[in-house]
Chain A
Amino acid sequence: MSPYIIETGGLTRSYGDICALKPLDLQVPEGEWLSVMGHSGSGKSTLMNLVGGLDRPTGGTLQVGGENLLALTEDGLARFRRNFVGIIFQQHHLVPYLTAIENVMMAQYFHSMPDEAEARHALERVGLGHRLKNRPGELSGGEQQRVCIARAIINSPKLLLGDEPTGNLDHKSTIMVMELLKELRGEERFTVIMVTHNQDVAAWGDRTIHLDDGMLVREERMNCQ
């Protein structure tokens, strides 16, 4: 059995004539926290979308959790995402008419069965036990991001993807969110792929890869914070 949760070989993604990701060979061991850095348009979000089964590559191979994502149908990819992946978005993407707890329960609905007690527990873990019934409009940016984290971890994913999760947060909230992610990772042992252009945020990971113009240009091991 492969020790890698993610393995890509010559992975590419083009949009017409534009090559967003040039042939990429990447292995991510299970439990690793990988930071992906690069400027805008460097291909880091493209990589995250491919690994998360949100998008399809135009070439190469892509194995995630032993699953060949290229072979999966549209519905197969949806099932892969619900069972295997948790996603934290920069824009939070919370449903505005649902309360914090209901937003978490929506992920449970697509996974298996909405369970209010479990959703409450997940929100308590991210420090939002007192904001269960608040709608996104009534929460601060940091709180919304924590709801997003609770939603991402509720189904115990093996892979947690973060697309600039602290991009819209101030320094204090950023630290809070990163500490929370580190703590949860310690408990859940999931693999993290964190896309960021912030060196400080990237430094929370075990390893950082740098992309430029769709190519892997540099890789560095980090010291744990």
Chain B
Amino acid sequence: MNRRRWLLHLVMGAIAHRKGRALLLLSVLAMASSLATALGIVSTSMEKRVAEEVRKYGANLVVTPEASRLDIGSGGLNFGVVSEPAFLDQGQIDSALAKSGVRAEHSYQLRGALHWKERDLMVEGVNFSDIRRLFPWWQLKGSWPAEGESVVGNDLATRYALKPGDSLELVGKAGTVRCRVSGIVTSGGEEDGQLFVSLLNLQQALGMTGQLSQVRLMVTAGNDGIKKSAAVLQQLLPGTKVSEVRQTAHTSEGLLTKVKLLMVMVTAVVLISAGSSVTGTMSTTVLERGKEIGLMKAIGGTRREVMLIFCGEAALLGIGGGIAGYLLGSAIAHFITRTVFSASAEFMPHYLLVSLGVSLFLALLGSFGPMVSVFRLDPVRSLRGE
């Protein structure tokens, strides 16, 4: 039998000899690690769920140009304020987003009037693939546009009797946009009164290549991410206004942060209690085995070698408690997410490492103090049972 196998055999024998106490320790370790696992899984599930909910709200930041303002008047006479429409520089926005490191999906938009059948229509140029991601609540009758196609807001379509398949010829000061209506959109907002065409086509028709009216961003950083991202972008984009548009999302994230903090505090309290319990039980075990420790030292075991045996026991119990804690914690998390959040918890195998870590840490930490005090004694005093 090699030394490693013998050590394992010795450790298993010692644990089996004190079944009752070993079971008690295993239970405490399993309880503590299961709670850490359960709260961790619930917290992660909640975070994902909140993130999903936040995504449903769509864009949470908007970047708009600050309009040039000029006060008209002289002395006591004031004729009001004249403002000239201002635009964002697409290149500057691209560069700022890259520099900021903000994780966000974005949608570039340009608004302008195009002439159609002797009237001006308010047209918005967008990238339709971005719109689909950022505005998931849009209801579309027809299909999403391909190249050379457009989408018409429901109110506008009703007013001008437009339907999918109709062709439009929209004239701007620098060019003409020819497109076919592929779908009618209903959003319940101002989009219902607009016509949407490809961003590039509108920029060319208006002679405004590289210019934008606004940029909508969906920041996915979570928690304080929106506020921080807004501040970072604001610094990188002088002459623009970066503002939050969805307070609900912000509130959800704030609530999540508080719930997570509560969970961390509860876990800390439980771990401290469990740690004390493990220390108490391990102290009793080690003190009871003072003679055994004395014997091992008397027959030639160095402190390190004898410590290894006792640490091995603690580690084995820690591993057992960690595995049991993971299984129990996963079940508890599943139960909580099902009953409280009406959703099923995901299978999160990486929490096995968390559970093992918590359990091992408690077992070793709890054993270390009493072991050190016993190991300071010389073999003679230990054998006397002092």
Binding site for B on A (CB under 8 A): 49, 52, 54-56, 74-75, 78-79, 81-83, 87, 89, 91, 93, 95-98, 102, 105-107, 109-111, 113-116, 151, 155
Contacts and interface: CB of A to CB of B under 8 A. Distances in A.
B299 A81 contact: yes
Contacts of A111: 300
Contacts of A74: 302-303
Contact of A75 (B3, B292, B302): B302
A114 B303 contact: no
A136 to B, nearest CB: 12
Contacts of A93: 291, 294-295, 298, 383
Contacts of A91: 383
Given A95-B292, A110-B305, A113-B2, A82 B13 contact: no
A89 B292 contact: no
Given A55-B380, A114-B6, 17 more contacts: A52-B298, A78-B297, A78-B300, A78-B305, A79-B302, A81-B299, A82-B301, A87-B299, A93-B383, A97-B13, A98-B10, A102-B10, A105-B6, A106-B10, A106-B299, A111-B300, A113-B2
B5 to A, nearest CB: 8
Nearest to B294: A93
A109 B5 CA distance: 11
Given A96-B17, A97-B14, A114-B1, A106 B303 contact: no
A32 B380 CA distance: 25
A79 B13 CA distance: 25
Contacts of B379: 54
A213 B149 CA distance: 112
Interface of B: 1-3, 6-7, 9-10, 13-14, 16-17, 291-292, 294-305, 378-380, 383
A151 B298 CA distance: 12
Contact of A97 (B16, B294, B299, B380): B16
Contact of B300 (A79, A89, A115): A79
A113 B3 contact: yes
B14 A109 contact: no
A82 B304 CA distance: 14
B295 A109 contact: no
A34 to B, nearest CB: 20
A165 B232 CA distance: 82
